[in-house]
């Protein structure tokens, strides 16, 4: 059972994203809310993020205290101060619920101490599940489309180019070679193109090596 409102232990989470910001507005609105609810026993956990760090030690400490049952409720100004994504929100709220810790977001009007607030968390969980399903569908559709277009999925495959050349010299078509070596026709075609380019580059290089060096004789002009 939760403690009475007068002795309920509250964890207040404050966060700012830049050095130029402060938490004064967040603090005032939260303290006004606490005064209305009659909650007087609170601890402030405050993070100040900068462009060089994204660590949130105060949040880590607050969650540790929640697990240890040192606080009975967590209050934040807005959910984006506390959560990075919808998935993160739902996971954390479920974790807090398992600990018996209530949650309130003032600006978002989410209050897990009420029936309507708990209903909202269930709706958020449903949206998170829906979002994950959409992402999975898009990924699967993209993979299927890539496969239809001949894109090889996964790690790049290694093709024995000497075997490809030998089969080509035997008069096999690209499709037949692909079947022989268990690769796609597109992969065989790319391999043959690469071999031709390497052959041309090698020929040009040898031609340069055996070319006649420029003359070093000097032309002397004699005037009559």
Q: Which residues are catalytic?
A: 17
Does an H or E element contain 26, and which? helix 24-37
CA distance 23 to 8: 23
Number of Cβ within 10 Å of residue 48's Cβ equals: 16
Q: How far apart are the first and last CA of the chain?
A: 122
**Comparing C-alpha atoms, which of 169, 198, 175, 206 is closest to residue 188?**
175
Number of Cβ within 10 Å of residue 186's Cβ equals: 14
């Amino acid at each position: 059972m939760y403690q009475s409102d007068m002795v309920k232990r509250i964890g207040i989470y404050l966060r700012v994203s830049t050095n130029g910001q402060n938490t004064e507005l967040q603090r005032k609105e939260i303290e006004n809310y606490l005064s209305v609810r009659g909650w007087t026993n609170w601890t402030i956990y405050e993070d100040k993020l900068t462009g060089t760090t994204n660590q949130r030690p105060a949040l880590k400490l607050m969650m540790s205290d929640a697990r240890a049952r040192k606080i009975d409720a967590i209050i934040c100004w807005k959910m984006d101060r506390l959560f990075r994504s919808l998935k993160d929100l739902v996971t954390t709220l479920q974790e807090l619920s398992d600990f018996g810790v209530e949650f309130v977001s003032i600006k978002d009007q989410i209050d897990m101490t009420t029936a309507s607030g708990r209903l909202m968390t269930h709706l958020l969980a449903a949206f998170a599940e829906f979002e994950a399903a959409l992402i999975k569908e898009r990924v699967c559709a993209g993979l299927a489309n890539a496969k239809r277009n001949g894109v090889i999925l996964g790690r790049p495959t290694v093709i024995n180019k000497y075997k490809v050349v030998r089969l080509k010299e035997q008069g096999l078509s690209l499709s037949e070679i692909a079947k022989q070596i268990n690769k796609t026709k597109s992969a065989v075609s790319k391999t043959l193109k690469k071999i031709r380019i390497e052959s041309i580059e090698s020929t040009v290089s040898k031609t340069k090596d055996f070319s006649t060096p420029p003359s070093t004789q000097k032309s002397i002009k004699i005037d009559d």
